[in-house]
Amino acid sequence: MLSVTGDMLIVVAAFLAGGLVKGVTGLCLPTVAIGLLSLFMLPVKAASILVVPSLVTNVWQTVSGPSLRPLFRRLWPMQAGIGLGAWAGSGLIISMAPEVVSAALGGALILYAAVGLSPVRLPDVPSDAEWWIGPTSGLITGVITAATGVFVIPLVPYLQALGLKRDELIQALGMSFTVSTLALAGSLARSAVFGAELFGLSVLAIAPALAGMVAGQWVRHAIGADVFRRWFFVALLLLGAHLVVRGIL
């Protein structure tokens, strides 16, 4: 069991790293933070600490884009699916054994890293198929969110297959991550695990997350997003593998 000071140091370091990645790539702050935090604490505690900084950074990303209303009209069925999936999976992260949650979290990180490293990309989603593919992707994402605290699979590959412009994609990711964070918070609230101490740590994480994002924007211009992204996915793959092995053993 970590001390309060130990928890604070780990939270600061995890969200600096997560913010750095988000500043370079536009996403993955929650993915990186929960993966690193879960090395030192139970995944349900890590997921609770994730809520406030994820919400703040993703709302910022959502409202700063150029196409909020058109994107919401297009993507609201997927957002509804996220909420429904998180409601259906509510309590999973509590009811499952910590070892199982750790392995599931690691598996989600491995899957996302493999998708990121693969040269294969999904074909563009036909516009007349969005009405069912979007909600289905959202539903699956919501269940995975409730079970692991990770909300990138299959949400990110689906959004990337919509043929959005870069600014629209970043805004759509921010919107979807905002909804996913709210869904995760609702799931945790129903399980009565998001208490005052975890809320305080979650608020503490805002400053390092924002500082990491600023540093990440500098890194993006200094070394290039593509090079950074490649090494990031390699590191994420190793982190996921470690969590899976720890969960199994």
Number of domains composing the chain:
1
Give the integer Cα–Cα distance in Å for 15 and 20.
Answer: 8
Residues of the chain whose pLDDT is less than 70? 1-4, 192, 194, 225
DSSP 119: S
Helices 166-190/43-63 angle, 10° precision: 140
Q: Which tokens is 168 given?
A: 């629209």
What lies within 8 Å, CB to CB, of 82 at 6+ separation is 138, 139, 141, 142, 145, 151, 155, 176, 179, 180, 183
Verify cis geometry, omega within 30 degrees of 0, for the bond prior to 154: yes
Q: How far is CA 79 from the centre of its chain?
A: 15
The 8-class DSSP code of residue 212 comes to H
pTM score of the predicted model: 0.88
What is the reported pLDDT for 7?
A: 84
Kindly tell me the sign of the dihedral angle through the C-alpha atoms of 130, 133, 139, 143. negative
Distance CA 19, CA 209 (A): 4
Domain hosting 219: range is: 4-248
Q: Are 137 and 81 in contact (CB under 8 A)?
A: yes
